Structure 1
């Protein structure tokens, strides 16, 4: 299902560069092509952002957690984790927006462990600093990081989504604190702000009580683009009501098509059209000049996984299951049926085990690459084919490219795969606009206070006309 009613020219693929400091493979930092200190190397990220812009990507995105990755109580595994140290994303993107012109910046912020006023403020700032290129990746945080935040306990899954629903409404309301032309800055009259164009939110809800106004003008994009990644029932419904881009994980075409059609079908009941929500699954491309070379590159990566890391990957999914009696060559047992973490990721991995009858070794190898996202090993043409099939067969509007090792895998994709997509007319050769919304083909939202005032005026107009007719 797709809606191209607002689109000029043929539908084209949207591309994001999904970055993890040294690369997405769990052992990427050990690869000789990796920048081992990448997590805290600004020059490294600067080069990546500029590379993505050279490749005409829509956006760059870094995965982030408010509590970090890995288990500090398992020191053997923790000591081998190359993803433990990395920048806070809004700070990073603010810096990199100054050395780029077109690329959009997606930063993660949690609705469970942060305050909506702070979130609204920092993303509005990023949108101003970047000239309208900011996006907020809304997460409810599946991992229990409550010990880092003076919180008594991690919220249950359903409560996290209830909080997120209200949280997003509060943030949007705060972004609308001022109308677009509220700041007159008229030296002659001495009036800086038109008070008639200031709106207090005065929100009173189950989770938040927020007066407003925000202490920054309405963002250049109206709202920074809203991105989500949940695929559970609650996640799909939240996305259908509030998201503009979904970052999702699917391994099989049929699963991707089901997800795509399901979330698009939910939009009309929220007064939205299918083209107002872009679905961008992750893809982990392992390139080679030939199929054999690509497979060899894949095996080189997998050989870097230490046994203790392999078992930690499995234990992360088999919570509460004793694996001590298993070897890696045993068939993977059924996964737990319930979790207070990411329900969609548990289902994805569980389906993978059930569908393919994997051994534990085969399972950890699948997850070590892209954590449940699609892995494609092949030549540039084969990677381009894989992207095109999903795009044209109702599974995706675009893709989050997950380079196995950075910086080389991103450059290889830009130099080898992007030109093929461009030659096929599937991907842009120039940016369409100056803001992330323009490049994604998303409309700029009207200020909600203005929209309500217009609707009230339109509703009152017939009654006023009738009264005037009677008077005449």
Structure 2
């Protein structure tokens, strides 16, 4: 019986026939890295904000306060752990006043918990699921970042991950005593050096440095302590870190940039890449490019997992899933829509003619280059008016996999086999129902096909992802 695959990406819906054959646990999948062994998906959940869709909080039955309600968040992460997800992933933002007040008053992301505080709390109500948090290399210091993630890794028993970001929103600068946002190229230059400093600080002590010999009175072996004494172009950090080496050696490194500097940073440093390709071909290009750059940097391809973001909408039928998408899209107010477009473009789109085309002479911006380029390309490709473009970006403009559990599993399997991904970062359209649909309907279908684990085989996030524990660069 022929099944239909449905991949909606903001450029329309693609439907491709396939034979609908099922894989069992003993079947072999040839992954994008050429492995003949069975290859399974890695799944993380993008959970801060709990949904990237700006209409999610208004959906019937949704929790409108989900971003700032610890009881709900504990329930969400426990459901994800029961479904054996690799990680619970928190983004972060460092500015509230990044949109007009008329849009701000309609936003469900105005308040949220500070990532380390929340993840530390959630670590105590979970046992296995990874805990990933965003931390900025532009508006923080390496010693702070190293200490926080090392602490989270110890508290959680080895489940921490650091999402390295350079902070694209220019408004953040004003919250940190700066009038101007650091230039794009300078942000990435600082980020690369920042990574070296943080990982160097994590290696301040050998794993056996703390002898804690009560009889002799020796707590620390000074020969197994390294003073970093880093002095670079951007940073000066003496060290050592005042915390033992993390359980995982280093917390897992996640990177989210898709610009050329972002890809290069990912190839040199990342172990997971959170990205947003719009379709299968774009994903394959991104996958091959970053993996190729990693090899050129002397790394093994398998040491880096690429996990595109995809909003997952599960229905009893394809039409049912499409109706859910239309419903949640209809709940986005135009004030929010035009604000989202302005953020993506890095300029005030409310001044443009709503029923005209996007201007060709847009002013330069110091915000995200990748986001801006995607908007411009979409507008040109589909000849969208500003109003239509805003509507697209006002809800969720990224990749959307919608359909039945079977048809969505078909698409995920195709992406894995075609060398487009190592798994997905799942975005929920609304909560709790959207999360329940993923964990209780889609995941069992993936498990039935042997595409996703039935249980955790290890206790650390590195073990979930199949990543080696890094050697201490100073003591091994």
The number of aligned residues is 445
Find out whether 1:38 has 2:66 as its counterpart: yes
Deviations 1:388-412 (A, max 9, x none): 1111111100100000111221111
Find out whether 1:304 has 2:338 as its counterpart: no
d(CA) in 2 for partners of 1:85, 1:291: 34
Deviations 1:16-75 (A, max 9, x none): 01113452211211122221122221111101110110111000112211224742xx22
**Alignment match, 1:431:** 456
Query: Which structure shows the higher helix fraction?
Result: 1
1:68–1:84: 8 Å Cα contact kept in structure 2? yes
Alignment of 1:187-266 (within 5 A): 187-266=214-293
Find out whether 1:76 has 2:95 as its counterpart: no
Task: Give the CA deviation at 1:367.
Answer: 2.2
**Alignment match, 1:60:** 88
- 295, 303, 318: which one pairs with 1:291? 318
1:319–1:336: 8 Å Cα contact kept in structure 2? no
2:336–2:394: 8 Å Cα contact kept in structure 1? no
Find out whether 1:49 has 2:77 as its counterpart: yes
Which is further off, 431-440 or 14-23? 14-23
Find out whether 1:375 has 2:406 as its counterpart: no
**Alignment match, 2:9:** none
Structure with the greater alpha carbon radius of gyration: 1
Task: Give the CA deviation at 1:333.
Answer: 4.7
d(CA) in 1 for partners of 2:387, 2:413: 31
**Alignment match, 1:470:** none
2:352–2:358: 8 Å Cα contact kept in structure 1? no
Q: RMSD of aligned C-alpha atoms?
A: 1.9
1:334–1:353: 8 Å Cα contact kept in structure 2? no
**Alignment match, 2:157:** 131
2:254–2:272: 8 Å Cα contact kept in structure 1? yes
1:22–1:407: 8 Å Cα contact kept in structure 2? no
**Alignment match, 2:433:** 408
What is the SS of the residue equivalent to 2:211? Answer: strand
Task: Give the CA deviation at 1:3.
Answer: 4.2
d(CA) in 1 for partners of 2:230, 2:309: 36
d(CA) in 2 for partners of 1:28, 1:415: 20
- Compared CA separation, residues 22 and 123, structure 1 to 2 (3 A): closer
d(CA) in 1 for partners of 2:207, 2:118: 27
Task: Give the CA deviation at 1:169.
Answer: 0.3
- Compared CA separation, residues 400 and 379, structure 1 to 2 (3 A): same
Deviations 1:328-360 (A, max 9, x none): 5x4445584843111111222222222333333
d(CA) in 2 for partners of 1:40, 1:321: 29
d(CA) in 2 for partners of 1:325, 1:203: 48
Task: Give the CA deviation at 1:376.
Answer: 2.3
d(CA) in 1 for partners of 2:97, 2:422: 30
**Alignment match, 2:306:** 279
d(CA) in 2 for partners of 1:21, 1:158: 27
d(CA) in 2 for partners of 1:301, 1:49: 23
What's the TM-score once normalised by structure 2's chain length?
Answer: 0.89
d(CA) in 1 for partners of 2:187, 2:223: 36
Gaps of 5+ in 2: 1-30
- Compared CA separation, residues 234 and 297, structure 1 to 2 (3 A): same
- Compared CA separation, residues 284 and 369, structure 1 to 2 (3 A): farther
**Alignment match, 2:143:** 117
Find out whether 1:92 has 2:118 as its counterpart: yes
Alignment of 1:333-352 (within 5 A): 333-334=359-360, 336=362, 338-352=364-378
- Compared CA separation, residues 47 and 263, structure 1 to 2 (3 A): same
d(CA) in 2 for partners of 1:90, 1:250: 28
Task: Give the CA deviation at 1:116.
Answer: 0.4
Deviations 1:98-143 (A, max 9, x none): 1111100000000000010000000000000000000000000010
**Alignment match, 2:201:** 174
d(CA) in 2 for partners of 1:435, 1:318: 39
- Compared CA separation, residues 223 and 217, structure 1 to 2 (3 A): same
